[in-house]
């Protein structure tokens, strides 16, 4: 059964944040709230975490994983960003956007798109997630919690606990989250291509 941790969404308790981060460091797979619905998360170095996320979501190896970053400095260590993309992405973050970019050698190959060598990155506008990232002091491997046959992410921790009680190790409850996933923007070819319209305004990228 998954551990259920109730954390205040605006004033996350440091003791509970530490409890979640300790679990991540022990290679737990967590379900956690973000500014665009629930997501599945594990430490980047957790080899089994990637495979468990794919199984839960019913995805194949071509899925673009997202690395949840604390700030732009951390993001810049993981992907190659040219000057044009730099300005646009910097102005849009933190927020409900995921950017697909060429990965640097800092990113393990198992997390990259098998042909394009790309990865998703994003900086969330969510107090609780920022607290987790600060305590963890590294990016979080992440994927929006959209289950097979569904089109929107889960929005309540108790619902996630009920559905995935034996498939994840820990569920964070922090009240209801938005139901709209991130807007996904591909910057691989040097110009933005909106792959998915979501919570983030696309006007700046068209």
pLDDT above 90: residue 152: no
What's the pLDDT tens digit per position in 82-105? 888 888 999 999 999 999 999 999
Closest of 140, 139, 142 to residue 76, by C-alpha? 139
C-alpha radius of gyration, the chain, whole number: 16
d(CA 38, CA 58): 16
Residue 113: pLDDT band (50, 70, 90) is: confident
pLDDT above 90: residue 115: no
Classify residue 194 by its DSSP letter: E
Rounded to an integer, the average pLDDT of 1-6 is 96
pLDDT above 80: residue 206: no
CB neighbourhood size of 78 (10 A): 21
State residue 151's pLDDT score.
Answer: 86
What's the pLDDT tens digit per position in 54-86? 999 998 877 888 999 999 999 999 999 988 888
- Which fold does the domain 3-205 belong to in CATH? DHBP synthase (3.90.870)
State residue 62's pLDDT score.
Answer: 79
28 versus 61: the higher-pLDDT residue is: 28
Closest of 157, 154, 159 to residue 178, by C-alpha? 154
Rounded to an integer, the average pLDDT of 187-200 is 90
Are β-strands 140-144 and 183-186 bridged in parallel, bridged antiparallel, or unpaired? Answer: unpaired
How many whole angstroms from its chain centre is CA 206? Answer: 24
Residue 187: pLDDT band (50, 70, 90) is: very high
Residue with tokens 């996904």: 184
Classify residue 96 by its DSSP letter: S
């Amino acid at each position: 059964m998954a551990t259920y941790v109730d954390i205040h969404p605006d004033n996350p308790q440091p003791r509970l944040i530490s409890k979640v981060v300790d679990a991540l460091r022990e290679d737990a797979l967590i379900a956690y709230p973000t500014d665009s619905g629930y997501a599945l998360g594990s430490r980047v170095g957790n080899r089994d975490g990637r495979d468990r996320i794919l199984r839960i979501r019913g995805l194949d190896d071509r899925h673009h994983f997202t690395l949840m970053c604390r700030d732009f400095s951390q993001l810049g260590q993981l992907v190659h960003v040219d000057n044009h993309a730099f300005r646009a992405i910097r102005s849009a973050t933190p927020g409900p956007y995921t950017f697909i970019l060429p990965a640097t050698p800092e990113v393990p190959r198992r997390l990259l798109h098998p042909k394009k060598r790309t990865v998703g990155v994003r900086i969330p506008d969510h107090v609780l997630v920022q607290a987790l990232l600060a305590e963890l002091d590294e990016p979080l491997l992440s994927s929006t919690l959209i289950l097979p046959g569904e089109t929107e992410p889960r929005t309540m921790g108790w619902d996630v606990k009920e559905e995935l009680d034996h498939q994840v190790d820990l569920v964070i409850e922090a009240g209801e989250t938005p139901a709209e996933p991130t807007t996904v923007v591909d910057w691989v070819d040097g110009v933005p291509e909106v792959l998915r319209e979501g919570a983030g305004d696309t006007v700046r990228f068209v």
